[in-house]
Amino acid sequence: MEFLDPVMPYVEPVWAWLMNGVEAFAPLTGEGGVNWLFFGLQLGVIALVMALLMPSYGAILIFTVASVIVHVVVDQVLPMVRGGASFSLPPVTDMVYWQYLAFAAAAYLVGLSVLYLIKSIILPR
């Protein structure tokens, strides 16, 4: 993929910055790595519901922010439902947490765009 060589010096620091947050706050496996299956399933279900609710592509930014808010709520409530953990607020003062949310926002932006495109092709108006 030689055509990406001029762009990669700009993309790699951004990717490393985003992955720092994901590795700190995403669901982990038993070995300590990111559980991409659970994380992707959570992103996918939320994005699918939001894409079905999105009336037009002009609302993509609003639905991206709403998806991230729902993602934060699910991240905080799921441990209470599954394991009986006590309620805790998200660490909004931690920069690494904002990196995690930036990764989630980028993933929702791409996911909602693709799912809305598929929805507009398959479902009639």
Q: Where are the domains of the chain?
A: 2-122
Structure confidence by residue, pLDDT tens digits, 70-121: 999 999 998 889 888 888 888 999 999 999 999 999 999 999 999 999 999 9
Mind listing the pLDDT tens digit for each residue in 11-68? 899 988 988 888 888 877 778 788 888 889 999 999 999 999 999 999 999 999 999 9
Eight-class DSSP state of 86: P
**pLDDT for position 27:** 79
User: What is the structure's pLDDT at 33?
Assistant: 83
- In this prediction, residue 116 carries a pLDDT of 95
d(CA 17, CA 95): 11
DSSP SS3 for 28: strand
Evaluate whether 52 touches 119 at the Cβ level (below 8 Å): yes
In terms of pTM, does the model score above 0.85?
A: yes
11 closest CA partner among 21, 60, 19, 94: 19
